[in-house]
Amino acid sequence: AQDCSKLLDKLETLPFYSNVNTSQIGLIGHSLGGFVVLMNQALDPRFNVTVAWAPLVNFDPQVITIIPPGYDDYIPANLLNSTNTNNLLIIMHVYDEVINFDDQALVAQNLTGCEVFNITEPLIGGGHQLFSDIVIIKSIKWFENYFFKSETLNGPIYITFLTNYAIIFITLILLVLIVLSLTIYTSKFFPYKEEVIEKNLGKKTGTLSKIKDKAIRLKQILKIIFYTALFLINWEIFERALGLGG
């Protein structure tokens, strides 16, 4: 967390900083990044506005060992209060599969009186990732409201995650096609037992044998697709049900 303050210390020594509106310095972070910005805004009053996406607020340092011994006071649940926190917005999915909404977002709200914007709609990638244009637009408007006292001064916000979703979908298709291509190509070097026997007996002739050969290869490809899909579905079910452990 000190790195953000040290970075700001360095920026203050540069010539351009005299033109910076110091009331318009804010922080935004996601997950562990949200954990970091919550500490920063509480410890350094130069950060005036903060947005935390699905932040880690309340945890047992013996279970989640991300801080060294003796620093328990810097866990947001032990650090945050209404005096050291200003203009804080927390955005979190109520069905976050990694951390619990009540134990994190609501704890921070009870300690600071901050605003919590909860997401309830299903999101691609799961609730913790917060892949949503609503999240980005809400965050931008939060900064605009406190920096410029207006959410419309800079004009409307045109942003969407549909493009991201399309790219992800295309990427997945390309990955599947690459795997299938490699499978089909390498299968040429591993003949089936039936083929070896038929070649040895000299019976593999004519159009019928070619059709049979193609059918066997197609069957193998479909089996690969089936088992790959089964694995992905199984992984997704356990990830959603048990989080990172699943």
pLDDT at residue 192 in the model: 57
Query: What is the mean pLDDT for each group of 10 consecutive residues in the chain (246 residues)?
Result: 89 93 94 95 95 96 88 94 95 95 96 96 88 92 92 79 78 84 72 54 60 79 80 76 61
- Domains of the chain (ranges, CATH numbers): 2-148 (3.40.50.1820), 162-242 (no CATH)
Angle CA 44–30–17, to nearest 5: 40
Tens of pLDDT along 158-217? 777 777 778 878 888 888 888 888 777 776 766 655 555 555 545 555 667 777 777 887
pLDDT at residue 145 in the model: 93
pLDDT at residue 158 in the model: 77
pLDDT at residue 243 in the model: 60
pLDDT at residue 245 in the model: 59
Packing angle between helix 2-12 and helix 32-43, nearest 10 degrees? 60
